[in-house]
Structure 1
Amino acid sequence: MAGLTELEQAVLRHAAEGLTIAATARAMGKSTPAAQDARHRLLVKLGAKTTAQAVLLACQAGILDGRPRRHGDHAGYEAHRRRGETICDLCREGERAHRRAVAAAAQRNQEAA
């Protein structure tokens, strides 16, 4: 992506998904200051004043494909799995919550029957 480091690309993708910088740092296994530094370098490289403007400029330049990607839930977990990626902690926890909800619904249905 247009001279962006891997970390800057990840920050950009997470920002496009609506994650805060703290959530981005957690998802990447980095410290919040490291993610903030990457965001700052990203803004400078793209000539953006805000993270939202960076996402817009990246979409307009074709750096981001503009398709929303799920993250932090069952769909995000499955997307990681289908792409053969390491599943991030945020999506792993989302999958756990999904499985608990499915089990609880099945239990309620069984009790109602």
Structure 2
Amino acid sequence: MSATAEEGTKESEDEENRRELAMLEAALYVAGRPLKVKTLGYLIGTRSKRKVRRLVAMLMKEYERRDMALEVLEVEDHRFVLQLKTEYSSKVRRLAARPLLTDGPLRTLAYIAYRQPVMQKHV
């Protein structure tokens, strides 16, 4: 194999790793809860737990290197979670407690969803 072909293979592997890392990061972010290795593997199209663990370890190192407010941790039962570091959580906790909708509008939407189609005058 020529040096150029080896470089091309290496670049395509790096690109694939970046895509898989991005998918794992997105999954951990959106889930908001710990995810199993099997679930993460399914998302990137592999059954190899070793590969998933290697990629998550890379993601963990990247978050450590950035030294920002988020971290990737392994929790019980070999699950992984993207979370806020503890030193930041007490300062921003009250922001997370605010619901997007208060009880009134939420009840109205629930009523509409349950009774649909419904006329505005019946709401």
TM-score (norm 1): 0.38
Q: Which has the higher strand share?
A: 2
Give the number of the structure whose alpha-carbon radius of gyration is greater: 2
TM-score (norm 2): 0.36
